[in-house]
Amino acid sequence: MANTILVGAQWGDEGKGKIIDVLTEQADVVVRYAGGNNAGHTVYVGKQKYVLHLIPSGILRKNKLCVIGNGVVIDPIGLVEEINGLAKLGVKIAKNFVVSETAHVVFPYHRELDARRETVKGKNKIGTTKRGIGPAYGDKAARVGLRISDLVDPVLLKEKLSKRIAENNGVLKALGGKPLSFKKVYADYLAAGVFLKPFVANTVVLLHQKMQGGARMLFEGAQGTFLDIDHGTYPFVTSSNTTAGGACTGSGVPPHRMDRVVGVMKAYTTRVGEGPLPTENAAISDLLHGMGREFGSTTGRARRCGWFDSVATRHAAMVNGIDDLAITNLDGLDTLETIRVCVAYRRGKELYDFMPNDAQVLAECVPVYVEFEGWQTPTDKARTFKALPPKARAYLKAISELTGARLYIASVGPGRDQTIFV
Ligand code: GDP
Ligand code: IMO
Ligand code: MG
């Protein structure tokens, strides 16, 4: 493995954390390049569960450098909590962890604005994680954001933050929100800046030095293709480029240094938050929720569930240039007699074999399904492709063919060992 980008090929929560943790064994450096603590990546090491929000999932392996790249937005209070939480569980975070000095900072007014805007939108809300992600990326694009280099400089922090609080208190008031105290925010962020300063570096230069030294890099995507600000179901998206291109802009590693793209997808579909989900199905949701599965790692919300949508994953393969597929949660379908896969959409007389760009048009699409016979056998103990029931193998091969990328990994449980390299 040389340099690999790993992306979510659906609506997030595809099992990226688990697959990153498995692939980290073959990497030297793991880089987060987009999103913020809206992400929740679950990794099990034995019985111990870890949920990572900002820190790359590679942190759970020894002697791996974990980097938060410039494309990420960082809530420093959340990051300090995450570091301390992991330390309590015995995870060492020292020289193996670096934060970009040009990553943007999420402040309490971003979170407040996120929440207020959702309330104002009423039934048209996005269903955000309320982590302030949209407003923070908004400030970055408007060129008024503070970066980590500002956070760790008490003078710059004071000067810039006082102006931003004054402006944002006005906006918050107009939206019916409460103004924030500069003194309190400054004190909290100053302390977080002092804590984080030893981890801060010019990560672009660092990553290039590592590459020159022959390091193998793994780029950990957050969210998923259809939550991408450009390629997702706008406006029901997050505010960053979660797709493969984001790995370059969000880290400073150029496209010609990327060797392959791994697309992670569930053997079915889930989404958390609002927006179109063509294959959504109440019976599948009930089945998975009944098994205690598909509750959000960050917000605890029940995820909406549906059949596998190959129109969507084919589109994801196209936009990301997916070479290899990691298909997770195969075991979630173990009990089903019949399994459906969406192969096209119908809207009135129109038949679509691609994802329409307009979220309203997509919401009006009805899936065209093909059916597969279920294997009705537990798969969670299988450790080789051959050990899977023939019908499960046929299903995996079919969704790989329909998506148009190589079948690389099949995952049959949350554990490290429940991973089949095909
Ligand atoms: P991420 O955001 O893409 O990292 O995914 P999440 O961690 O939010 O959600 C994926 C969930 O599926 C987590 O609870 C994982 O532990 C779990 N998971 C991942 N792969 C498998 C699998 O193959 N089978 C089962 N049963 N659970 C899995
Ligand atoms: P990981 O990395 C699933 C969704 C939210 C909402 C929309 C916008 O764990 O896959 P935001 O707070 O980003 O402004 O919310 O995006 N969302 C996710 N859904 N997994 C995630 O991350 C998500 N991050 C954001 O639910 O619909
Ligand atoms: Mg998640």
Minimal-distance CA residue to ligand 2 atom 21:
223
Count other C-beta atoms under 10 Å from residue 374's C-beta.
17
Ligand 2: does its nearest atom lie under 6 Å from the Cβ of 238? yes
CATH homologous superfamily of domain 104-196? Adenylosuccinate Synthetase, subunit A, domain 2 (1.10.300.10)
Counting atoms of ligand 1 from 1, which one is nearest the CA of 293? Answer: 14
Q: What is the 3-state secondary structure (H, E, C) of the chain?
A: CCCEEEEECCCCCCCHHHHHHHHHHHCCEEEECCCCCCCCEEEEECCEEEEECCCCHHHHCCCCEEEECCCCEECHHHHHHHHHHHHHCCCCCCCCEEEECCCEECCHHHHHHHHHHHHHHHHHCCCCCCCCHHHHHHHHHCCCCCEHHHHCCHHHHHHHHHHHHHHHHHHHHHCCCCCCCHHHHHHHHHHHHHHHHHHEECHHHHHHHHHHCCCCEEEECCCCHHHCCCCCCCCCCCCCCCCCHHHHHCCCCCHHHCCEEEEEEECCEEECCCCCCCCECHHHHHHHHHCCCCECCCCCCECEEECEEHHHHHHHHHHHCCCEEEEECHHHHCCCCEEEEEEEEEECCEEECCCCCCHHHHHCCEEEEEEEECCCCCCCCCCCCCCCCHHHHHHHHHHHHHHCCEEEEEECCCCCCCEEEC
CATH homologous superfamily of domain 4-100+202-261? Adenylosuccinate Synthetase, subunit A, domain 1 (3.40.440.10)
**pLDDT (0 to 100) of residue 243:** 98
Ligand 1: does its nearest atom lie under 6 Å from the Cβ of 413? yes
Ligand 2: does its nearest atom lie under 6 Å from the Cβ of 232? no
Give the Å distance between the CA of 39 and the centre of ligand 2: 6
Q: pLDDT (tens digit, 9 = 90+) per residue, 73-116?
A: 999 999 999 999 999 999 999 999 999 999 999 999 999 999 99
**Among all residues, which ones are annotated catalytic?**
13, 41
Q: Which ranges of the chain have pLDDT less than 50?
A: none
Minimal-distance CA residue to ligand 1 atom 24:
413
Minimal-distance CA residue to ligand 1 atom 8:
13
Ligand 2: does its nearest atom lie under 6 Å from the Cβ of 127? yes
**pLDDT (0 to 100) of residue 1:** 61
Q: Which of 43, 223, 266 to mutate to test the pocket of ligand 2 (most atoms within 8 A of CB)?
A: 223
Ligand 2: does its nearest atom lie under 6 Å from the Cβ of 17? no
Ligand 1: does its nearest atom lie under 6 Å from the Cβ of 221? no
**pLDDT (0 to 100) of residue 297:** 85
Domain segments of the chain: what residues? Answer: 4-100+202-261, 104-196, 264-421
Q: pLDDT (tens digit, 9 = 90+) per residue, 22-44?
A: 999 999 999 999 999 999 999 99
CATH homologous superfamily of domain 264-421? Adenylosuccinate Synthetase, subunit A, domain 3 (3.90.170.10)
**pLDDT (0 to 100) of residue 298:** 82
**pLDDT (0 to 100) of residue 58:** 95
Q: Which of 328, 408, 417, 420 to mutate to test the pocket of ligand 1 (most atoms within 8 A of CB)?
A: 328
Cα angle: 150, vertex 153, 156; to 5 degrees: 60
Counting atoms of ligand 1 from 1, which one is nearest the CA of 264? Answer: 3
Ligand number with the minimum distance to the CA of 37:
2
